[in-house]
Structure 1
Amino acid sequence: MNPASLIPLAEPIPIHWAWFDLLLVTTFTAHILFMNALVGSAAIGLVHAMRGDSGLAREVGKKAPPLLALTINLGVAPLLFLQVNYGQFDYVSSVLMGGWWLAVIAALMLAYYGFYAYKFGHDALSPGRRTALLAVSLVGTLYVALMLTTNMTLMLRPEFWPQYFEKTGAAVLNFGDPTLYPRFLHFMVGAAAVGGLFVALLGRWGKNDAFVEVGMRWLNRATLVNLGIGLWFLVSLPPDILLAFLGGSLPATLTLVAGLGCAGMLLAAGFRKQPIQATVWAVLTVFFMSLTRHWLRTLFLAPWFNIKDTPVTGQYSPVLLFAVFLVAGVAAMAYMLKLYFKSREGRA
């Protein structure tokens, strides 16, 4: 079967595709930063809870529900922009995954209620039950991350799609893709690094030097490990795409080099135990890595699709309406955060 016959036709888009790519990369950066803070800090809290140190686990547990809410809400935007420009690939991969993809909703609900139960039932639960509850919630988020990684790799490999018919309709999970495992670990170890930075920021705001020490240690070690995993991810790519990142494509190479440079500055700030400076470099690192991920998607889809061929209708009113609601939504979120930090819990 020719995989190209399984790719739907591209739908017309209202304005130039570059605007949607820019919004995709920008909103994905915000989503990843909050996801990393959530998953990474929860993992660090779980490790400390298992060691008998419930103080740190309790503090990150208090922040988990709002972090998860922000992660989910900020994850909707990049998913929608992805579907605007690359929906003919993302929709197919989602359908091929079947029930595994739909189970993401249940896993998110499990994690959400688990984090809430941990936060509000912390004092009433025994240490063992608290630790188990935190572990189950973390596993729920890891399942979501794994399925998202699987979906994002499957959409790039139409040549794998005919497996669905060879398996008589069984779900396709793309576990045979050599890039899947380093890609997933690259995100999760990165989460440990940013989660450590989040713990350090909590310590700085709360004048808790122990939290700063622990957080910066996690940041430094996880970042060093992630450099190795990033190299694994790079060499797992098909040869033509690997060469594109090693000088064959100027935009792809420059963004990769910029990301590595920012990661180096992040480590420098981490070893100096400067959480604020490290936060700036962490945001820049995640942005350039998100941009690198965009070039990776473009290179993978090049044999099947060229975004420049997508028809444009020139309808600007939906985009203007989106911009108005975006500004209003950001203003509302800023106001709610202001009220939160004025509250007793926020001040704590």
Structure 2
Amino acid sequence: MDPTTLIPVVDPIPIPGPWFDVLLVATFVIHILFMNVAVGCAAISLAGHFGASGSGLSRTLSKRMPTILALTINLGVAPLLFLQVVYGQFDYTSSVLMAGYWLAVIGLLLAAYYGLYIYDFKYDALGGARSVLLLASLCMMLWIGFMFSNNVTLMLRPEKWLDYFKLEGASFLNLDDPALAPRYLHFMVASLAVGGLFVALMGHFAKDADRTAAGMKWFARATMLNIVVGAWFLMSLPRPILLKFMGGDTMASALLLAALAGAVGLLWAGLRRKPLLAAGLTVATVVFMAVTRHLLRAFYLAPWFDSSDLPVTGEYSTLMLFLFFLAVGLPCVVWMIRIYVRPENVEGDA
């Protein structure tokens, strides 16, 4: 069977596809940073329960994690919608093929969310059970991340969709993809780094040298590990795509070099314990990697699809409306976050 017969017919979009590609990458960067903080803080808080000096940090993070996860969920809506606008015929199909696995994400996400609330509100009453509850919430978040990695890789492989007929309609995952494991681990190890950076920034603004040092230690060690995982991810790509990043495509190669330079800068900032510099380099590196990831998706789908070929209706009013509310709402969000992370609040949680 020809896999192209399984790709749904595309619907017209109001503005050219590249507009949505830019919005997709921009909103994804914000979402992934918050996701990294949520998962990383949960892992660091859990580790704190097994060290005499980490219990105070675990209590502090318990107050932050429910809000961070809530922001992660809300900030994940925009990139998911932009993805579905342009690549919906692939994303919806992979979601349907995953069936129950994908639907279970909703229930697990709610359970993890309420688990973090209970972990915070009942921290003292839970006693030794608090580590079990946190471990359960962390495992659910890790599983959700694995399901997302499965979905975004399965959507790139229409030829894999033919397994639906071999399995007589049963749902399945993209487990035979060599790039799946390193791609997933690349995000999860990054969570340890960004979570550590979040801890270091809390310590920096609270003038707590010990907490800053502890956070930067997590950041530096996870960054070292993630450089290795990133190399594994790169080498796991199909050879024609790998060659594009090895000089076959100028933009792809330049972005990869920029991301690698950013990773080296992150490692240096982590070892030198410079949290503010590390924060700036982290945002820049994630931007480079997000654009690289977008190019990777385009390379995978090139035999089947090009976003610039989508039919366009020319209804720019929707874009203007979106940009207006973004311009009005974004300062409000920044203001709320600044209040939330101001030094006196950090000190009060310590």
1:159 aligns with 2:159: yes
SS for the counterpart of 1:113 is helix
| Uncovered stretches (5+) of structure 1, i.e. residues with no partner | none
Provide the C-alpha distance between the structure 1 equivalents of 2:45 and 2:122, rounded to a whole number of angstroms: 16
Structure 1 residues 9, 121: CA separation in 2 closer, same or farther (over 3 Å shift)?
A: same
Structure 1 residues 64, 313: CA separation in 2 closer, same or farther (over 3 Å shift)?
A: same
- Output one character per residue of 1:147-200: Cα deviation in whole Å (capped at 9) or x when no partner: 000000000000000111110111121111111000000000011111111111
* TM superposition score normalised by structure 1: 0.96
- Structure 1 letter corresponding to 2:35: M
Match of 2:203 in 1: 203
Provide the C-alpha distance between the structure 1 equivalents of 2:169 and 2:337, rounded to a whole number of angstroms: 47
Provide the C-alpha distance between the structure 2 equivalents of 1:151 and 1:217, rounded to a whole number of angstroms: 33
Structure 1 residues 133, 29: CA separation in 2 closer, same or farther (over 3 Å shift)?
A: same
- Output one character per residue of 1:201-257: Cα deviation in whole Å (capped at 9) or x when no partner: 111122222211111111111111111111111111110000000010111111111
- Output one character per residue of 1:60-102: Cα deviation in whole Å (capped at 9) or x when no partner: 1111011101111111111111111111100000000001101
Match of 1:103 in 2: 104
- Structure 2 letter corresponding to 1:218: W
- Structure 1 letter corresponding to 2:238: P
| Number of residue pairs aligned between Structure 1 and Structure 2 | 347
Match of 2:74 in 1: 73
Match of 2:325 in 1: 325
Counterpart contact for 2:24–2:78, Cα < 8 Å? yes
Match of 1:24 in 2: 24
Give RMSD over aligned pairs: 1.6
- Structure 2 letter corresponding to 1:229: V
Provide the C-alpha distance between the structure 2 equivalents of 1:18 and 1:304, rounded to a whole number of angstroms: 17
Provide the C-alpha distance between the structure 2 equivalents of 1:55 and 1:265, rounded to a whole number of angstroms: 30
Provide the C-alpha distance between the structure 2 equivalents of 1:253 and 1:94, rounded to a whole number of angstroms: 31
1:183 aligns with 2:183: yes
Provide the C-alpha distance between the structure 2 equivalents of 1:230 and 1:266, rounded to a whole number of angstroms: 14
Counterpart contact for 2:116–2:134, Cα < 8 Å? yes
1:221 aligns with 2:221: yes
Aligned counterparts, 1:172-321, within 5 A: 172-321=172-321
Counterpart contact for 2:49–2:58, Cα < 8 Å? yes
* TM superposition score normalised by structure 2: 0.96
Provide the C-alpha distance between the structure 1 equivalents of 2:341 and 2:200, rounded to a whole number of angstroms: 19
Following TM superposition, by how much is the alpha carbon of 1:338 offset from its aligned partner in structure 2, in angstroms?
A: 5.2
Match of 1:37 in 2: 37
- Structure 2 letter corresponding to 1:236: S
Mean Cα displacement is larger for which, 28-37 or 318-327? 318-327
SS for the counterpart of 1:50 is coil
Structure 1 residues 196, 347: CA separation in 2 closer, same or farther (over 3 Å shift)?
A: closer
Structure 1 residues 145, 290: CA separation in 2 closer, same or farther (over 3 Å shift)?
A: same
- Output one character per residue of 1:40-62: Cα deviation in whole Å (capped at 9) or x when no partner: 12101111212343111111111
Match of 2:63 in 1: 62
Match of 1:147 in 2: 147
Following TM superposition, by how much is the alpha carbon of 1:123 offset from its aligned partner in structure 2, in angstroms?
A: 1.7
Following TM superposition, by how much is the alpha carbon of 1:341 offset from its aligned partner in structure 2, in angstroms?
A: 5.6
| Uncovered stretches (5+) of structure 2, i.e. residues with no partner | none
Following TM superposition, by how much is the alpha carbon of 1:270 offset from its aligned partner in structure 2, in angstroms?
A: 1.1
Match of 1:336 in 2: 336
Following TM superposition, by how much is the alpha carbon of 1:346 offset from its aligned partner in structure 2, in angstroms?
A: 6.3
Counterpart contact for 1:341–1:347, Cα < 8 Å? no
- Structure 2 letter corresponding to 1:79: L
Provide the C-alpha distance between the structure 1 equivalents of 2:182 and 2:334, rounded to a whole number of angstroms: 36
Structure 1 residues 344, 106: CA separation in 2 closer, same or farther (over 3 Å shift)?
A: farther
Provide the C-alpha distance between the structure 2 equivalents of 1:80 and 1:254, rounded to a whole number of angstroms: 29
- Structure 1 letter corresponding to 2:108: A
Structure 1 residues 308, 221: CA separation in 2 closer, same or farther (over 3 Å shift)?
A: same
- Output one character per residue of 1:251-304: Cα deviation in whole Å (capped at 9) or x when no partner: 111111111111111111111111000000000111111111001000000011
SS for the counterpart of 2:126 is coil
Counterpart contact for 1:50–1:131, Cα < 8 Å? no
Match of 2:84 in 1: 83
- Structure 2 letter corresponding to 1:84: V
Structure 1 residues 156, 341: CA separation in 2 closer, same or farther (over 3 Å shift)?
A: closer
- Structure 1 letter corresponding to 2:69: L
- Structure 2 letter corresponding to 1:71: T
SS for the counterpart of 2:221 is helix
- Structure 2 letter corresponding to 1:213: A
Counterpart contact for 2:16–2:308, Cα < 8 Å? no
Mean Cα displacement is larger for which, 322-331 or 190-199? 322-331
Counterpart contact for 1:83–1:90, Cα < 8 Å? yes
Query: After the TM superposition, which parts of structure 1 deviate over 3 Å for at least 4 consecutive aligned residues?
Result: 334-347
Provide the C-alpha distance between the structure 2 equivalents of 1:123 and 1:155, rounded to a whole number of angstroms: 44
